């Protein structure tokens, strides 16, 4: 069977797969594990399983309904393409590609569609992929003003940055990160200019694409969404760091004032 039964049934594996001498061990997040015999790993990943096995896996909680998520990717070039392709692999994900400037529109149009009055385009997440570290803040701020979750992803020749997810009503946003970077390094704006136009490397692009795929797959309730953090990738290491809200961030201050 070539059709992925999980995708067709809007199901997804809710466990990790470990190959063991006697078959496949299914490792659940709650600590349970199950041994699956006589089924190749490829068949399990594709969901090419007998109906009885699918029913038992569902009853045990090994399978869960796939989340439906609409994601807008703003940008052009290899990074935006990689991110769109990776997120489309998430069961239930609908991706709309929007361009980042004149003459560089994507199949879905330009990011200004998000600003049109009465627009029905209100995605669960907007991923902004600028060509330079300080670019495309307009769609980021637009999403913040419309209370649409938004995250910025940038890749250079040998490095990448991701996040934070800017959420309405929660301090810690992209502006906070911009302020923090400038405060820690007075020459940061000059460094950002020097990186403008640099072609993104393959390895940082893949790290960003995989991180965003995992973020969408985990859903809005996961720590990556709810906790303000930002990630970085270099040839030596990669990881995520907690982002503290900046007292001088006007947007976070305005959100606090509106909530008060």
Quote the distance between the C-alpha of residue 209 and its chain's center.
Answer: 7
Instruction: Answer left, alpha or beta for residue 98, where phi above 0 means left and psi between -120 and 50 means alpha.
Output: beta
The order of strands in the sheet holding 69-74 is 93-98, 69-74, 125-128, 150-155, 159-162, 229-234, 238-242
pLDDT computed for residue 1 by the predictor: 34
pLDDT computed for residue 149 by the predictor: 94
pLDDT computed for residue 178 by the predictor: 92
- 256/241 Cα distance (integer angstroms): 23
The DSSP secondary structure of 150-173, one letter per residue, reads EEEEEE-SSEEEE-PPB-TT-S--
pLDDT computed for residue 194 by the predictor: 85
The DSSP secondary structure of 188-212, one letter per residue, reads HHHHHHHHTTPPPPHHHHHHHHHHH
Q: Which of 96, 152, 83 is nearest to 123 (CA)?
A: 96
- 243/204 Cα distance (integer angstroms): 21
pLDDT computed for residue 177 by the predictor: 94
Quote the distance between the C-alpha of residue 243 and its chain's center.
Answer: 17
pLDDT computed for residue 118 by the predictor: 65
The residues spanned by each domain of the chain are 5-65, 69-259
State pTM to two decimals.
0.77
Over residues 93-152, the pLDDT tens digits come to 899 999 987 665 677 788 988 887 666 778 999 999 999 999 999 999 999 988 899 999
208 CB-near residues (< 8 Å, 6+ apart): 79, 82, 83, 153, 155, 160, 162, 233
- 245/191 Cα distance (integer angstroms): 23
DSSP H/E element including 128: strand 125-128
Instruction: Answer left, alpha or beta for residue 226, where phi above 0 means left and psi between -120 and 50 means alpha.
Output: alpha
Q: Which fold has domain 69-259?
A: Rossmann fold (3.40.50)
CA angle, 111 then 114 then 119, to 5°: 140
Backbone angles phi, psi at 11, to 5 degrees: -120, 160
pLDDT computed for residue 39 by the predictor: 87
As given in the structure block, the two tokens for residue 231 are 């990630």
As given in the structure block, the two tokens for residue 71 are 């994601």
pLDDT computed for residue 4 by the predictor: 61
pLDDT computed for residue 9 by the predictor: 66
> Within the chain, which residues score under 70 in pLDDT?
1-5, 7-10, 102-105, 117-119, 257-260
> Cβ atoms within 10 A of the Cβ of 84, count?
22
pLDDT computed for residue 140 by the predictor: 95
């Amino acid at each position: 069977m070539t059709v992925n039964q999980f995708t067709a049934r809007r199901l997804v594996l809710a466990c990790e797969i470990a190959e063991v001498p006697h078959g496949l061990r299914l490792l659940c997040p709650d600590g349970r594990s199950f041994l699956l015999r006589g089924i190749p790993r490829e068949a399990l990943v594709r969901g090419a399983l007998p109906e009885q096995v699918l029913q038992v896996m569902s009853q045990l909680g090994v399978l869960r309904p796939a989340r439906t998520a609409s994601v807008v990717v703003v940008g052009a070039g290899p990074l935006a393409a990689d991110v769109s392709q990776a997120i489309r692999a998430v069961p239930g994900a609908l991706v709309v590609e929007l361009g980042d400037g004149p003459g560089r529109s994507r199949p879905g149009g330009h990011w200004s569609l998000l600003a049109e009055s009465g627009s029905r385009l209100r995605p669960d997440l907007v991923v902004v992929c600028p060509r330079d570290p300080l670019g495309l803040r307009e769609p980021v701020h637009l999403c913040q003003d419309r209370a649409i979750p938004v995250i910025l992803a940038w890749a250079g020749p040998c490095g990448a940055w991701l996040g934070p997810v800017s959420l309405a009503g929660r301090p810690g946003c992209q502006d906070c990160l911009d302020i923090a970077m400038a405060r820690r390094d007075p020459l940061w704006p000059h460094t950002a200019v020097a990186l403008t136009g640099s072609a993104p490397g393959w390895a940082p692009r893949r790290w960003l694409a995989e991180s965003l795929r995992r973020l969408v797959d985990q859903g809005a309730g996961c720590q990556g969404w709810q906790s303000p953090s930002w990630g970085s990738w270099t040839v030596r290491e990669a990881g995520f760091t907690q982002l503290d809200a900046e007292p001088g961030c006007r947007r976070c201050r305005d959100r606090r004032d509106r909530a008060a």
